[in-house]
Amino acid sequence: MTTFAELLLNGVSLGSVYALIALGFVVIFKATEVVNFAHASLLLAGGYVTAVLHDDIGFWPALLAGVAGAALVGAAVEFLVMRRYRGRDHSVLAIVTIGVDILLVTELTRRIGTNVLAVGDPWGDAVLTIGSVTIAETRVAALIAAGLLITAFLLVFRHTSWGVAMRAAAESAETAALMGVRLGRVSLGAWAVAGGLAAVAALFLTVFPTPGLERSTSLAAMKAFPAAILGGLDSTTGALVGGLTVGVTESLATGYQSDLTFLGRGLGDLAPYLVMIVILLVRPAGLFGTKELARV
Amino acid sequence: MTAVPALEVTGLTVRFAGLTALDAVDFRVAPGTVHAVIGPNGAGKSTCFNVLSGVYRAASGSVRLGDEELTGLPPHRIAALGVARTFQNLALPPTATVADSLLLGRHRLTRTGFVAAGLRLPSALREERRHRERVREIAQFVGLGDALDRPAGSLPYGAQKLAELARALCMEPSLLLLDEPVAGMTADERRRTAAVIAGVRDSLGISIVLVEHDMGVVMRLADTVTVLDFGRRIADGTPAAVQNDPAVVRAYLGEDAEEPS
Amino acid sequence: MSDAPGTTVVAGRGAPPAKTALRPAWPPRPRTYLWIAGSVLLLALPFYLDRFWLQAGLFAMAAAIGAIGINMLTGSTGQLSMGHAFFLAVGAYGYCAFAGDGGDELTGLGLPTAVAAVLAVALAGLAGGLFSPIAGRLRGAYLGIATLALIFIGQHVLFNAHDLTGGFNGRDVPPLNILGFRFDDSELVVAAIPFGSAEKLWYAGLVLLAGCALFARGVLRGRPGRAMNVIRDHRIAAGVMGVPVARYRAAAFVLSSMYAGLAGVLLALVFQRTVPDYFGMVLSLEYLAMIVIGGLGSVAGAVVGAAFVSLLPQVLTRYSDALPLVAESGTGGVAPGEAARYLYGAAVVAVVLFLPGGLIRLVTRRTAPPKHPDKPTPGTPGPSGEER
């Protein structure tokens, strides 16, 4: 029972980190209808900046720099690439993000090489013990940070003019433009915010018990994709629920790995995708996604 | 010759997230007649078409074509029953040639599958040749005989709308749904399109349901008219009767009702 | 299905069906000469190229087959797939499992290799078919995300199903043997050139590629291709025109899986060993890069893009000393493989932004007939119409 509670708690914490990534992904989709396959590389960029700077300028400034860096990369991608596309086919734009992803990941993995970069977080490998349940401090920090950021984001999304503009653009870009919404700014903002959220997530994907930032960190970040789509690509609620589902699934599958050896090693990395498949079979638009009116 | 069945719409209701787009609408289209559905913007005309062609699901009510109930069927099954439609905003791939678009209209009448097409089996080639001939006839019928090999997107707007009408005709339908067939056309194109539609009715004997804002065209072509306003049927009858209906005049508030021909 | 009501009436109004003006078969067009010259060149290459380039060429052919397949799905039907590396793996490992004789203590049915190759392609198709409940219902980029699952499932199985795949170390690929003709390094001298596996496979690859390209062209220009294109361009119109959209999406997915399976078989035969690392995410991205760079929806484009993306690293490796910025791997500079990824990553972005239609558009734009600027007036046959 204790094991289960620990796994669940870890899963929720991990899930909240995935939710951060998925939220950014959904925000870009809502604002621009683009599925951003370069999302994992935004995360890697943020994590990389934090990792290389923390020795010189200290952890917190480095984290801020990471967030700013990833936001900048996101904004640059939007401004230099996405905005230049003249066609209307959003699947083609999704492929452009794949090209961007290839470029960013190649550059970052070349820089990282075979190293494992520490991010210099203040928590180290300290653990908290509550009753019989033991949990790493990093996990608690992740849960709190993700919770705060998500709440802040949702408040902004509901109540500021930028949030309103974004939601208007999500409803109908054309109408929003006619109402005076500057679509360019909305989309630029979405990419920057998504980058910033991803950079925070990068921190929590690379702290204890993970050894640090390495090439494969982007693979871990990709679990935000199933999170976003099983929740429903156009739903912020979906991103949260999806993130938690993926986190808990991964945590449980990894934790009970020893009881499931017949399924092979590394089950934790696979399980989220299997859950996604099952959910898509039942609900093609995801748990909270808008079901299309058209029956085609 | 297959007999053209009647279309019977009863109590058709459509709701989107609390909004009632169509509210218990009834009308009947007798075989071989032209029936117009008119009404101000947002009256539910296009929604009505989307239900008839299976794109939207009805909340309640029934749409019967002869003995077949259409409301439960997906679009491709409805198409298979001989219901063809055009779209208010063009749905014609701009880079495909007109001939290819029209051949697409033959989809339900042809059988060539992946293997036959890939291997270019004689059956596939024969079928393709035969249907290309028919497509040419239909293109000439609407006046696009010499535009067959051009990309649809290179044609003027009016010609593209005609191409879409031709594509629907290529399905050899028994019921043809035309969503604003003359919208955006020049006066000359309007006249031509109206002539084509009249020709279709007279020569093919199929039923046509028409959504149109151009009252001139409606009055000239329609045998019967249904008027919708805010999803409700406010009038139904012959063009002359509907035109003088006070409810209709009120709904239009002098917009289109002032320019009947 | 013969024509429904009204044939006579409509025909009565139009002119009698006119014959399309056919080009005389002789003299052939310049394009035909180009084709002949290209074919002769390709057939002669094994006599002149060394093994390195022949292998590079074979990779390109295998990639071209896979790219044609995924282009039918993504380019022509508008359905994104990130999971094609999975189907390549099914083809490659399927072939090994069907053809293997169990000598290496891995599962092997010991079937004749030609049969094994066919079965491997069928197996890839079956795997694609199993995914059809999702491939049929999800569209565009949504499907792209869902197919990520295939990559992870594939990697998991490849690393864990030791008896079948050999795990991390992979397994040996039995050489192809068609009716006693062995595609291995056994001695065969043609015109004083010793023919090894690369030379022999070269011709097998050419035949397969030509067959796959022609089949794809037939599909795309025929009834299925028109249905696929309208699903991409106007999904709702497709349904209304009587195209069962989900079924066609699933069918396109299966077909492209089979092409990927065949590409996997050919790759395995060229590599002579299959390893799980190869069939990862990067491979799927490469295939998408190929079709975007070459030209979405075009068979020739897929071939051009495949050649570009798969030959690029080989060229960079071979000439790394002569190229600035590119260093041998492990020396700290940009390795040839990385340089290639920068180039095709940038090419994907550049092509979409500045050259919609891909590299193939550069070729066809030159040879395409000039467009008639005159507007056709509906109803009046133009002066150049066939009613002249």
Q: Which residue of B has its CA nearest to A293?
A: B56
Alpha carbons within 13 A on the beta-carbon side of C184: 11
Cβ pair A226:C141 closer than 8 A: no
The answer to which of A39-43, A160-164, B72-76 has the lowest mean pLDDT is A160-164
Residue A144 near residue A223, CB atoms below 8 Å:
no
- Look at residue C379 in the predicted model and tell me its pLDDT: 34
CA B91 to chain A, closest CA, distance in angstroms equals 15
> Which token pair is A218?
């982007």
Q: Residue C376, preceding bond cis, omega within 30 degrees?
A: no
| Chain A environment of B16 (Cβ under 8 Å) | 293
Alpha carbons within 13 A on the beta-carbon side of A237: 6
**Residue A274 to residues A36, C90, C149, C369, Cα–Cα distance (Å):** 21, 19, 7, 51
How far apart are the C-alpha atoms of A19 and A227, rounded to whole Å?
Answer: 7
Cβ pair C5:B136 closer than 8 A: no
- Look at residue A58 in the predicted model and tell me its pLDDT: 92
**Residue C128 to residues A47, A280, A284, C209, Cα–Cα distance (Å):** 36, 16, 18, 21
Q: Tell me which residue of C336, C211, C268 sits closest to C59, measured CA to CA.
A: C268
Cβ pair C222:B111 closer than 8 A: no
In a domain, C287, yes or no: no
CA C369 to chain B, closest CA, distance in angstroms equals 11
Q: Which residues contact A194 (CB under 8 A, 6 or more apart)?
A: A23, A24, A25, A27, A28, A36, A39, A42, A74
pLDDT in tens, C316-374: 888 877 777 676 655 557 888 889 999 999 999 999 888 888 898 887 765 444 444 33
Strand partners, C171: C274
CA A133 to chain C, closest CA, distance in angstroms equals 31
> Which token pair is B24?
């218990």
In a domain, C374, yes or no: no
Q: In a mutagenesis test of the A interface, which of C81, C156, C281, C334 is the best target, namely the one with the most A β-carbons within 10 Å?
A: C156
H/E segment holding residue B29: strand B19-29
- Residue by residue, DSSP assigns B197-235 as HHHHHHHH--EEEEE-S-HHHHHHH-SEEEEEETTEEEE
Partner residue facing C224 (CB), from B55, B80, B113: B113
| Chain B environment of A293 (Cβ under 8 Å) | 16, 55-56
Partner residue facing A229 (CB), from C80, C145, C346: C145
* pLDDT mean over A20-48: 92
How many structural domains comprise chain C?
Answer: 1
- Look at residue A3 in the predicted model and tell me its pLDDT: 86
Partner residue facing C285 (CB), from A85, A98, A294: A98
* Beta pairing class for C181-182 and C193-194: unpaired
Burial of B230: CB neighbours in 10 Å, binned 0-12, 13-18, 19+: middle
pLDDT grade for A36, boundaries at 50, 70 and 90 = very high
CA C292 to chain A, closest CA, distance in angstroms equals 8
Q: Tell me which residue of A145, A138, A119 sits closest to A61, measured CA to CA.
A: A119
* pLDDT mean over C273-290: 93
Cβ pair A293:B74 closer than 8 A: no
pLDDT above 50 for C34: yes
- Look at residue A181 in the predicted model and tell me its pLDDT: 82
pLDDT above 80 for A24: yes
Q: Which residue of B has its CA nearest to C19?
A: B133
DSSP code for C72: I
Cβ pair C387:B105 closer than 8 A: no
The percentage of residues in chain C with a pLDDT greater than 90, rounded to a whole number, is 56
- Look at residue C248 in the predicted model and tell me its pLDDT: 97
Cβ pair A296:B55 closer than 8 A: yes
Higher pLDDT, C324 or C60: C60
* pLDDT mean over C150-174: 91
Q: Which residues contact C315 (CB under 8 A, 6 or more apart)?
A: none
Q: What is the reported pTM?
A: 0.90
Q: Which residues contact C131 (CB under 8 A, 6 or more apart)?
A: C83, C147, C150, C253, C257
Cβ pair C5:B204 closer than 8 A: yes
Partner residue facing C242 (CB), from B107, B154, B193: B107
Neighbouring CB atoms inside 10 A of C92's CB total: 33
| Chain B environment of A291 (Cβ under 8 Å) | none
pLDDT above 60 for C1: no
Q: Which residue of C has its CA nearest to A280?
A: C134
pLDDT grade for C197, boundaries at 50, 70 and 90 = confident
Q: Where are the alpha helices (DSSP H) in chain C?
A: 7-13, 30-44, 51-70, 77, 84-99, 113-130, 132-137, 140-160, 162-165, 197-221, 223-233, 235-240, 245-271, 281-294, 299-318, 336-354, 359-367
Residue length of chain C: 388
* Beta pairing class for B7-16 and B60-65: antiparallel
CA C250 to chain A, closest CA, distance in angstroms equals 14
Type of residue numbered C249: R
pLDDT grade for C383, boundaries at 50, 70 and 90 = very low
Cβ pair B75:A293 closer than 8 A: no
In a domain, C61, yes or no: yes
> Which token pair is B218?
């409606």
Burial of B118: CB neighbours in 10 Å, binned 0-12, 13-18, 19+: buried
* pLDDT mean over A32-58: 93
How far apart are the C-alpha atoms of B92 and A275, rounded to whole Å?
Answer: 39
DSSP code for A294: S
Interaxial angle between packed helices C197-221 and C299-318, expressed in degrees from 0 to 180 and rounded to the nearest 10: 150
Q: Tell me which residue of C270, C362, C233 sits closest to C64, measured CA to CA.
A: C270
Cβ pair B57:A295 closer than 8 A: yes
pLDDT grade for C27, boundaries at 50, 70 and 90 = low
Cβ pair C241:B171 closer than 8 A: yes
Q: Which residues contact A250 (CB under 8 A, 6 or more apart)?
A: A11, A14, A223, A268, A269, A271, A272
Chains in contact with chain A (at least 3 beta-carbon pairs closer than 8 A) = B, C
Alpha carbons within 13 A on the beta-carbon side of C345: 22
Q: Which residue of B has its CA nearest to C6?
A: B204
Q: Which three-class secondary structure string do you get for C182-235?
A: ECCCCCCEECCEECCHHHHHHHHHHHHHHHHHHHHHHHHHCHHHHHHHHHHHCH
* pLDDT mean over C140-152: 91
In chain B the domains, ranked by start, together with CATH numbers, are: 1-82+173-261 (3.40.50.300), 93-157 (no CATH)
Q: Which residue of A has its CA nearest to C334?
A: A110
pLDDT in tens, A73-125: 999 999 999 988 877 777 788 889 999 999 999 999 999 988 899 988 888 88
pLDDT grade for C380, boundaries at 50, 70 and 90 = very low
Cβ pair C222:B124 closer than 8 A: yes
Enclosing domain of residue C73: 43-280
Higher pLDDT, C381 or C28: C28
CA B18 to chain C, closest CA, distance in angstroms equals 24
* pLDDT mean over C125-140: 94
- Look at residue C24 in the predicted model and tell me its pLDDT: 59
Work out how many CB contacts closer than 8 A connect A with C.
Answer: 134
B→A contacts (Cβ < 8 Å), by residue, are 16, 50, 54-57, 74-75
Q: What is the mean pLDDT of each run of 10 residues along chain B (261 residues)?
A: 83 88 93 92 89 93 94 94 92 90 94 94 95 95 92 92 95 95 90 92 91 89 92 90 85 54 41
With the C-alpha atoms ordered A131, A137, A139, A143, is the resulting torsion angle positive or negative?
positive
- Look at residue A62 in the predicted model and tell me its pLDDT: 95
This model of the complex carries an ipTM of 0.91
pLDDT in tens, A174-213: 888 888 788 888 899 999 999 999 999 999 999 988 889 9
> Which token pair is C190?
């043609």
| Chain A environment of B74 (Cβ under 8 Å) | 295-296
Burial of C322: CB neighbours in 10 Å, binned 0-12, 13-18, 19+: exposed
Q: What are phi and psi of C376, to 5 degrees?
A: -85, 135
What is the residue whose two structure tokens read 């050896």?
A261
Partner residue facing C133 (CB), from A96, A273, A281: A281
Q: Where are the alpha helices (DSSP H) in chain B?
A: 45-52, 75-80, 98-105, 114-119, 122-142, 157-169, 187-204, 215-221, 239-243, 246-252
| Chain A environment of B55 (Cβ under 8 Å) | 293-296
Q: Which residue of B has its CA nearest to A295?
A: B55
Q: Residue C27, preceding bond cis, omega within 30 degrees?
A: yes
Partner residue facing A99 (CB), from C160, C335, C349: C349
Chains in contact with chain B (at least 3 beta-carbon pairs closer than 8 A) = A, C
Q: Which residue of C has its CA nearest to B168?
A: C241
Partner residue facing C240 (CB), from B55, B103, B120: B55
Q: Where are the beta strands (DSSP E) in chain A?
A: 127-130, 133-136
- Look at residue B259 in the predicted model and tell me its pLDDT: 46
Cβ pair B56:A296 closer than 8 A: no
pLDDT above 70 for A138: yes
> Which token pair is C81?
């797939």
Q: In a mutagenesis test of the B interface, which of A171, A292, A293 is the best target, namely the one with the most B β-carbons within 10 Å?
A: A293
> Does A222 lie at the interface with C, CB-CB under 8 angstroms?
yes
pLDDT in tens, C234-279: 999 999 999 999 999 999 999 999 999 999 999 999 999 999 999 9
Partner residue facing B143 (CB), from C7, C244, C378: C378
| Chain C environment of B184 (Cβ under 8 Å) | none
How far apart are the C-alpha atoms of B213 and B196, rounded to whole Å?
Answer: 18
What is the residue whose two structure tokens read 């491979």?
C283
Residue A168 near residue A179, CB atoms below 8 Å:
yes
Type of residue numbered A111: R
pLDDT above 90 for C88: yes
Cβ pair C372:B156 closer than 8 A: no
